Amino acid sequence: MFFRLFALAVLGLMSTPLWAANCATTVEANDAMQFNVSNVNVPRSCKTFTVTLKHTGKLARNVMGHDWVLTAAADQAGVDADGLKAGLDHNYLKPGDKRVLAATKVIGGGETTQVSFKPSLLKPGTPYVFFCSFPGHATVMHGTVTLTK
């Protein structure tokens, strides 16, 4: 009996990757209009990938709100411009905008939010970006999203 359990345990270990992909990350934003990272790596092997956004500042969401928005690089300017018209009630994103691949809500100082998406949405060879859609923030609060193996 012991050998059967031992064999099953060994087989189970052999079928589990020794280095599982990290399918989540945390991004911080502050009252100085800064993200703490400039690139987010998304492993292709993840079924879903989760971004946790932490606003480390103190200012309210209507004064210095931040969100995390994922789009193709070519779509960023249009999404940002259309979001300005949508207003805070819609988290500065045009409702139903298909160019938005993932987005958190706009949060204020001391708050945290999350968004999850399927890495299969990202096509190899297409450049992707993340940015804050609060008016005027995308010019300095942006970074790249890289699909990795």
Q: What is the pLDDT of residues 102-127, one digit of tens each?
A: 999 999 999 999 999 999 999 999 99
pLDDT level of residue 20 (50, 70, 90 thresholds): low
Q: What is the pLDDT of residue 19?
A: 55
The answer as to whether 5 is a domain residue is no
E strand residue ranges, 1-149: 24-29, 39-43, 49-55, 69-72, 102-103, 112-117, 128-131, 142-148
Query: Could you tell me the CATH number of the domain that includes residue 90?
Result: 2.60.40.420
Total domains in the chain come to: 1
Q: Which helix (H) or strand (E) holds 30?
A: none
Q: What's the mean pLDDT in 61-76?
A: 98
Cβ atoms 68, 51 nearer than 8 A: yes
Query: At residue 61, does pLDDT exceed 70?
Result: yes
Residue range of the domain that includes 97:
21-148
The answer as to whether 66 is a domain residue is yes
Nearest residue to 146 (alpha-carbon basis) of 132, 128, 131 = 128
The answer as to whether 40 is a domain residue is yes
Cβ atoms 107, 55 nearer than 8 A: yes
The answer as to whether 76 is a domain residue is yes
The answer as to whether 120 is a domain residue is yes
Give the gyration radius of the chain's Cα atoms. Answer: 19
- Residues of the chain above pLDDT 70, percent: 87
Residue 108 phi/psi, 5-degree rounding, is: -105, 180
The answer as to whether 15 is a domain residue is no
The answer as to whether 4 is a domain residue is no
The answer as to whether 89 is a domain residue is yes
Cβ atoms 2, 114 nearer than 8 A: no
